[in-house]
Amino acid sequence: MKYKRNIVITGGAGFIGSHVVRLFVNKYPEYHIINIDKLTYAGNLANLIDIENKSNYKFVKMDICDIDAFYRLMQEEHVDGIIHLAAESHVDRSIKEPFTFVRTNVIGTLSLLQAAKLCWESQSEKYEGKRFYHISTDEVYGALEMTHPEGIDSPFTTVASSGTRHEAYGEDFFLETTKYNPHSPYSASKASSDHFVRAFHDTYGMPTIVTNCSNNYGPYQFPEKLIPLFINNICHRKPLPVYGKGENVRDWLYVEDHARAIDLIFHKGKVAETYNIGGFNEWKNIDIVKLIIKTVDRFLGRPEGADLDLITYVTDRPGHDVRYAIDSRKLQIELGWEPLLQFEEGIEKTVKWYLENEAWMDNVTSGDYQAYYDNMYKNR
């Protein structure tokens, strides 16, 4: 069958990638969606079990640093769109092994760019109808001060579901024009990859787009990240290691809201532009931890607050950014996107999902999924 578009999604077996793949495969039967993923510890094909047999979907196990393999795939599949999510994504790991982050996030992104350039420039229509969309993070902007519009207590929700919001922005939020100032090896590697993507537009005319999103949460997130780790630990009555005093602030977005933004921007976003994605939903870590405890305890029929004593304050993360907060008005005003899910509702949905998918969690925490797929792909 001839498809209307042939789109590569990198990192589609990971957390956000799997939601993007699922959305595109189901919403666009006229598109061929090719998920390329190396299946590192963070990649899990079980995240895509519900769509793996769809005729417009294909999985290819590939390292994004393998420029020759990617170039061949571009040619064979007539790829005209790339949505690039593959990355090493965990800050704590980047502190321990920064080279892995440079390899995948910087060299890997450059390899995709170079292969796409060679492929598209060899075609008569060149860059026409093509798109290279790079998914990045708000962490590239560095950290904000712990200041807030007056009268807003934690949780620092500055936009209501109705869309009304306080008009105190400026220095208080990350804008698309905020200067890059990354602090961790993870954010430094993502910042570098963002620069390469923009350089390929400015130097070669490649039609690129970059988006910088805030913290995501939801189903299929690897339990090294705050929310799934803590849900799992509460279930097993294990300590909850809160870094420092738990006062750092993050701006949380439900993963499906991010996937919808990616869909919109891939189709309607302007080439060479940057869009910030975030839900105006700031929370102190400690308040989230208490909300998760309350929600898990309620679902498990434990007395309210029964697990508060699991909170354990531990040594802070080195270079721990104090506060992130995204100003996503450009995306909201220019393209009409807005988050659909309120945080309390999103946490409820997320906790429920992890409790109902104990087998997924056990598989991931035991590492069994990796042995299974290593075996499956050994001889391919």
Four-residue CA torsion sign, 101, 188, 269, 202: negative
Report the alpha-carbon distance of residue 93 to residue 97 in Å, rounded. 6
Residues in contact with ligand NAD, counted by CB under 6 A, come to a total of: 29
- The 204-223 site mask, x for binding ligand NAD (CB under 6 A), equals ---------x-xx-----x-
Which of ligand DAU, ligand NAD, none does 37 bind, CB closer than 5 to 8 A by kind? ligand NAD
Q: Exactly one of 37, 80, 138, 327 is catalytic; which is it?
A: 138
What tokens appear for 325 in the block? 């907060």
Name which of 90 and 349 has its Cβ closer to ligand DAU: 90
77 as an active site residue: the answer is no
- The 76-115 site mask, x for binding ligand DAU (CB under 6 A), equals -------------xxx------------------------
Contact 289, 246 (CB under 8 A): yes
Contact 129, 206 (CB under 8 A): no
Contact 174, 327 (CB under 8 A): yes
DSSP state of 71: H
139 as an active site residue: the answer is yes
Report the alpha-carbon distance of residue 99 to residue 189 in Å, rounded. 9
- CB count within 10 Å of CB 292 equals 22
Angle at 15 between CA 209 and CA 331, to 5 degrees: 35
- CB count within 10 Å of CB 349 equals 15
Task: Scan residues 52-111 and list those touching ligand NAD (CB under 6 A).
Answer: 63-65, 85-89, 104, 108
Name which of 112 and 310 has its Cβ closer to ligand NAD: 112
Closest CA to 45 of 56, 58, 33: 58
- Check residue 285 for interaction with ligand DAU (CB under 6 A): yes
- Check residue 139 for interaction with ligand DAU (CB under 6 A): yes
Task: Scan residues 34-53 and list those touching ligand NAD (CB under 6 A).
Answer: 37-40, 42-43
Which of ligand NAD, ligand DAU, none does 364 bind, CB closer than 5 to 8 A by kind? none
Which of ligand DAU, ligand NAD, none does 241 bind, CB closer than 5 to 8 A by kind? ligand DAU
Q: What is the number of residues in the chain?
A: 380
Which spans of this chain sit near ligand DAU (rule: CB under 6 A)?
Answer: 89-91, 137-139, 214-215, 225-226, 229, 241-243, 248, 250, 285, 317, 324
Q: Which residues are catalytic?
A: 138-139, 186
